[in-house]
Each structure stands twice: as structure tokens, then as C-alpha cells.
Structure 1
């Protein structure tokens, strides 16, 4: 088992979570931040979340392929 894939998977999940939080703040769902209701974060958030999901999925696929 390669620990690099596990670390990359964790990083991908964290990046996706940050992107989700940024998107929710940008859309105004999460209030109380200077990022709330801001178009910039409404764009950056989903893009970051998508990048995180791609990293996590690719890492998971390589991890599963290495276990066979």
C-alpha cells in the first residue's frame, strides 16, 4: 500500500471541502464573513471543489488499482 495515494486522497477531500465552504459563502448561504454574497467566491468555490473532487477520485482509482 502506498501512503502517497492516501495522503493525496486526503488533500483532495480537504480541497473539495474548502471549495464547498467558499461556494456556500459566495452564494450567501453561510453568512458572517467578508466573503458572503460575493461573486468572486461564487466562482472560485465551485472550481476549487471540482479540482478537489478530481484529485480525490484520481487518487482513489490509483490506490484501488495498486491493491489488485
Structure 2
């Protein structure tokens, strides 16, 4: 695996994990308090369809980036 494939795979994994986190929070399965608040931050109460949809899209994009990176790095 070349450096370009490793970077693509790591970036795709990061985006997929972030998307999974957003999806779980948006559906109400996972609840987390805000970690680093600069302004008046409050916890989202209840499910958020917007964050669930954004998480699903990010999860799919991350999985596609991983698949493409792995496929192109194995092709001679």
C-alpha cells in the first residue's frame, strides 16, 4: 500500500466514524454532552433528523473513500 492509499484509507475511516457518531446521536441512540463549548452550548434534546441524515451521508462517503483507496492501492 502506498502513502496515497494509506492517507485515503485513514481519511475515509475518520469520516465514516464521524458519520456513525452523528447518525447515532441524530437517532437518539447515543447521547453525549458538549465537550468544548466556547459559547452557550446545550445538549440536543431528542432525536435530530438533520444530524441523522448528515451522519448517514458521511458514513456512506467515508466507506466509499475507504473502498476506493484500498482498491486503487492494490492495483499495480
Match of 1:57 in 2: 67
Query: Following superposition, which runs of at least 4 residues in structure 1 exceed 4 angstroms of deviation?
Result: none
Residues 1:30 and 1:55: Cα distance change in structure 2 (over 3 Å): same
Question: Structure 1 length normalisation: TM-score?
Answer: 0.87
Gaps of 5+ in 2: 33-42
Structure 1 SS opposite 2:55? helix
Alignment map for 1:1-68 (pairs within 5 Å): 1-32=1-32, 33-34=43-44, 37-66=47-76
Structure whose residues are more often helix by fraction: 1
The structure with more radius of gyration = 2
Question: Structure 2 length normalisation: TM-score?
Answer: 0.78
Q: Note the alpha carbon deviations across 1:7-62, whole angstroms, 9 max, x for none.
A: 11000011000000000000000013427511111110001000000000000001
Q: CA RMSD in A?
A: 1.6
Higher RCO, 1 vs 2 (CA within 8 Å, ≥6 residues apart): 2
